[in-house]
Structure 1
Amino acid sequence: MEITTEKDSKYNSLEKMPLLEILQNINNEDKTVPLAVEKALEQIEDLATIVTEKMRIGGRLFYIGAGTSGRLGVVDASECPPTFGVPFDLVVGIIAGGDNAIRRAVEFAEDDREQAWEDLMEFDINEKDVVVGIAASGTTPYVIGGLQKANDHNIATGCIVCNAKSPVAAEAQYPVEVIVGPEFVTGSTRMKAGTAQKLVLNMLSTSVMIQLGRVKGNKMVDMQLSNNKLVDRGARMVMSETGLSHAAAAALLKQHGSVRKAVEATKK
């Protein structure tokens, strides 16, 4: 396979560039990422469809990855409960090297083909679940091994990669391939590749949650009320739906604990 994410940058002598030129060139490269994602929309649709189907029968979504890719999976998983009010273990992000690797790289953790499955087994993974491997290169042994084992146990598998015809995509039943090309800094896949993966993760989890009824209209009616900003946002949602004053809406929200329940209480 051709690993385009490792190809030389089309820019050179970066250290000699004026600051504004550096920023302009990074921005120009970043502009190409949404177009690359657009080409993978049908693949993303297939992956979102199977995740939704599995969640409707009690399944969960697991992300596995290493380095930047693993961290992005952890971020997306951790944001689902506060955004959509789902249980903390419905979407799970697992990073090679464990939670310590979120802040500090764990040497050679990504090279262990067996560890991902061991990590998944700690969650009693089963045939209702979906495992999505995230790997910019598409060659990460940790991810390849995890997907292989999941396939062996009849568990649905997907991936998000940034190179064509990769070993990771070959193992995934529902591959998403977003080909972003060489990075501005050669091989620095936290840049365009990381941005592409983040966009796909946003689309995947958000579209699944919408299909599961976790959004009403265009509002996060099940969001957790974990700070004053969110309480105020929730109160304004209740006001919009019910016509109540802000004070009355806030009191109703406090009583019932969610926008959905507060609005439903006014209809009884």
Structure 2
Amino acid sequence: MTAPLAALRAQLDTLTTEAFRPELADIDRRSTLDIARTMNAEDATVPAAVEAQLPRIAAAIDAIAARMARGGRLIYAGAGTAGRMGVLDASECPPTFNTDPSRVIGLIAGGPSAMVEAVEGAEDSAELAAGDLAARGLTAEDTVVGISASGRTPYAVGAVAFARGRGALTVGLSCNAGSALAAAAEHGIEVVVGPELLTGSTRLKAGTAQKLVLNLISTITMIRLGKTYGNLMVDLRASNEKLRARSHRIVALATGAPDEEIEAALTATGGEVKPAILVLLGGVDGPAAAELLTAAQGHLRTALDRTR
């Protein structure tokens, strides 16, 4: 065994996410129902681990939202499952919140092909992460969230280190305490979910924890940026029939207006939900609604207040 490999093995032996659980050594001999119950019980522990980090998560979100309000971007960076979680969260922001695809970005070590197949050695390169961020013109107004279950993945740690050197806001999300990733970031979030059912398979509890935290980060950031009205997705992009029906329903829930008025308002605003609500509740026309929302930086409540 080479010295670097021996050192890595020794490091993995210290990680909670890599720990062996002897009480599960017979799991392949158990019934399917028993395995399912065991996995389900394991998954049920994840929300409590996330809850323990909520103050840190909230502080990171407030900092992210402030940067994004000034035009900055939210960039996730990770390898393997962690990278896929970031790409997934980023890809869901445009249809959910009508964000420009360039505002929330998911970077995965090895590029897009790594979403479906392993790219050998990509996660071990901090330089690759720096190159990926440099290619996207990283600025001090941006935020980089490094994601790594182990908290030691060079790609994620390298992304955070490079971003911090450029003056960007940095967040490190890992599932081990005392991680290098959290230490490298301005905001360290360590959701310790414990050893996995299958030793080292961090697509399980660790992956679930990452998904929950990223849901919090993107959703609450978008709420802070005025992408919602109450708990309604008023910046929804109606790109298909289902979403067009949802757009109508959202306007109805927000205004209580009859169907004919809702359809007229959506027509007047090019199908956009937020200005349609402003047309109905504020008594303005489509162009005026657009101007009011621009002046209010997209915050519907602020725009409505200016019509009264």
Q: Tell whether the structures are fold-level matches, with TM greater than 0.5.
A: yes
Q: What is the total number of aligned residue pairs between the two structures?
A: 268
Structure 1 match to 2:73:
60
Q: Aligned to 2:244, which of 221, 225, 231?
A: 231
Q: Match for residue 171 of structure 2?
A: 158
Residue 263 of structure 1 corresponds to which residue in structure 2? 277
Give 1:265 shift.
2.1
Residue 44, structure 1, aligned to residue 57, structure 2 = yes
Residue 135 of structure 2 is aligned to residue 122 of structure 1: yes
Q: 2:19 — aligned with what? A: 7
Partner residue, 1:253: 266
Corresponding residue number in structure 2 for 1:176: 189
Q: Are 1:186 and 2:199 counterparts? A: yes
Q: CA RMSD in A?
A: 1.3
In structure 2, give the amino acid aligned to 1:11.
L
- Tell me whether 1:109 sits opposite 2:122 in the alignment: yes
Q: Paired residue for 2:33, among 20, 28, 37?
A: 20
Distance 1:8 1:250, change over 3 A: farther
Computing the radius of gyration from Cα coordinates, the structure with the larger value is 2
Determine the C-alpha separation between the residues in 2 that align with 1:260 and 1:206: 17
Identical amino acids, percent of aligned pairs: 46
Q: Matches of 2:240 and 2:259 in 1, distance apart?
A: 17
- Measure, in 2, the Cα distance between the counterparts of 1:217 and 1:242: 12
2:278 aligned partner, one-letter code:
E
**Does 2:113 align with 1:100?**
yes
Task: List gaps (5 residues or longer) in structure 2.
Answer: 1-10, 285-308
TM-score (norm 1): 0.96
RCO higher in structure (CA 8 A, sep ≥6): 1
Q: In 1, distance between residues paired with 2:133 and 2:232?
A: 33
Offset at residue 240 of structure 1 (A): 2.7
1:241 matched to which residue of 2? 254
Q: Amino acid of the residue matched to residue 264 of structure 1? A: L
Instruction: Evaluate the alpha carbon distance shift between residue 251 and residue 101 of structure 1 in structure 2; reply closer, same or farther with a 3 A threshold.
Output: farther
- Counterpart Cα distance in 1 of 2:279 and 2:39: 50
Partners of 1:188 and 1:89 in 2: CA distance: 32
Question: 2:174, 2:191 within 8 Å by CA — same for their partners in 1?
Answer: yes
Secondary structure in 2 aligned to 1:223?
coil
Q: Deviations over 1:155-187 (max 9, x none)?
A: 211111000111111101101100000001111
Task: For structure 1, list consecutive stretches of 5 or more residues without a partner in the other structure.
Answer: none
Distance 1:163 1:250 in 2: 51
Q: What's the CA shift string for 1:199-228, capped at 9, x where partnerless?
A: 000001111111111110110000110222
Task: Provide closer, same or farther for how the CA distance between residues 251 and 102 of structure 1 changes in structure 2, counting only shifts above 3 A.
Answer: farther
Q: Letter of the 2:110 partner, please give it.
A: G
Q: Contact 1:236–1:249 (CA<8 Å) still a contact in 2? A: no
Q: Deviations over 1:5-36 (max 9, x none)?
A: 00013412121110000000000000000000
CA displacement at 1:243 relative to structure 2: 3.3
Distance 2:199 2:279 in 1: 56
Aligned to 1:74: 87
Query: Partners of 1:104 and 1:255 in 2: how far apart?
Result: 46
Contact 2:138 2:166 in 1 (8 A): no
Shift of 1:252: 3.2
In structure 2, C-alpha distance between the alignment counterparts of 1:101 and 1:47, rounded to whole Å: 28
Distance in structure 2 (CA, Å) of the matches to 1:12 and 1:74: 34
Structure 2 equivalent of residue 29 of structure 1: 42
Normalising by structure 2, what TM-score? Answer: 0.84
Is the 2:174–2:182 Cα contact (8 Å) retained in structure 1?
yes
The DSSP-based 3-state class of the residue aligned with 2:106 is strand
